[in-house]
Structure 1
């Protein structure tokens, strides 16, 4: 057999790995869950809508193995409940994809209740999910040593600061800084932390009908959720010595002004 050791780096297989995807019932999260399940990972997903959960699980089970629950991660104690359910089903945790989020209006167009709920969903739940993931992967505590991957799904909104993006962009910019610091905190404890920042991607969080979004995808002005899933697949399959710190994936024709 030809020696190809200098032709390609070693890859980490996904088969048998135990994966939690928050917000894994629609859009980017669903695409990630389906792809990883198709590679032999055992996945657990969550979302807020029972119909979306059923649809996602039907597709996941066509290609692999998975389960999930409906839950609102903005509510107190629900992140802990999610991780208890996920690790119970999976028998542990190797990968956590922290993705669950909601859209937001401009700061002056939101009520205080909506603002607090959005922060709870898009920021507080991210930090709590990462904290619980680190604990489940054996990396919780000053001298702990574990192993695993935490993938935070951010957004190019952290850079593209429109006048109506005050809340959403502010949170995603915060997630960017959190990801950098968390990578340094957990790297020596055996856990890799990566940030994936998608550009405009077709989903129920984006304006336009499914037909209008499909037209924009055809024009390469918008990505499919599966495009982001491939990026996550790439970073998860790199050798353990390598951490892909940040991946920004944008449509070729996206207008960033």
Structure 2
């Protein structure tokens, strides 16, 4: 038996701050059946969050829920957020499932091109999904949360690049960035934190019109395209800060792609 004394404990109170646990929280996640939304739902479910998701495709919903339930708890509904009553139906179904929720991940979006490359019908549909549904989901979430919760928007670095080839999409994401900043100031004093997460190009079915699954796999291999799981980790970071602190914005780009 050694006569050596045990080394003194190292005080770490000023080196670490206590982070809140996510276990037991309840999250509403729009577009939570594929891509970024699904990755977020799976990660949060694995951390003990009960999640409720929506997606347009019933098959994607079933597949997403199967994975969520592999690691935790969750349910969802299939609907199209472009429909005028869809957000109300989504929120009502979530409340029927788990009551009030204290996390809202507002993520569901579709691609949109330049203004002159779209029909008027395509333009209206994109605005309904990518902008109107963002604001109305935030409105419903704030009404339910009242004085405690987290709202996280999944925006895009397109709001800063403002490319001509996707002027409609970039314009809407710039609008979301502005709204997120303003509503953070409105809701913060009431106890609700607001964060805008802005990914660069991320592999998902969202990108299939421009990048096939094989092309995305190759860009993932070269680390010139993000994975959906990278965005989920950023959301987790925002949600696990002390309540006194709010991460206002997170911008994420592939390390090996210098121009973003």
How far off its partner does 1:9 sit? 1.3
Per-residue deviation, 1:26:
0.4
Given that 1:200 and 1:254 are in contact with CA atoms closer than 8 Å, whether structure 2 keeps it comes out as: no
User: Partner of 1:58: helix, strand, or coil?
Assistant: helix
What's the CA shift for 1:255?
4.6
TM-score (norm 1): 0.95
Equivalent residues, number: 250
Q: Per-residue deviation at 1:253?
A: 2.0
| Superposition deviation, residue 19 in structure 1 | 0.3
1:96 to 86, 92, 104: 104
What is the match of residue 6 of structure 2?
none
TM-score (ref. length: structure 2): 0.94
Cα offset for 1:195?
0.3
Which of 227, 231, 252 is 1:228 aligned to?
A: 231
**Aligned residue in 2 for 1:119:** 127
Counterpart Cα distance in 1 of 2:144 and 2:257: 38
Return 5+ residue gaps in structure 1 as ranges.
139-145
What's the secondary structure of 2:70's corresponding residue?
helix
In the alignment, which of 110, 116, 121 is matched to residue 118 of structure 2? 110
Within 5 Å, give how 1:43-62 maps onto structure 2: 43-62=51-70
Extract unaligned runs of 5+ from structure 2: 1-8
Other structure's SS at 1:158 match: helix
| 1:125-180 Cα deviation digits (max 9, x unpaired) | 00000000000102xxxxxxx10000000000011222211100000000000000
Determine helix, strand or coil for the equivalent of 1:241. coil
Find the counterpart in structure 2 of residue 155 from structure 1. 156
CA distance in 2, matches of 1:26, 1:229: 12
Tell me if 1:129 matches 2:137: yes
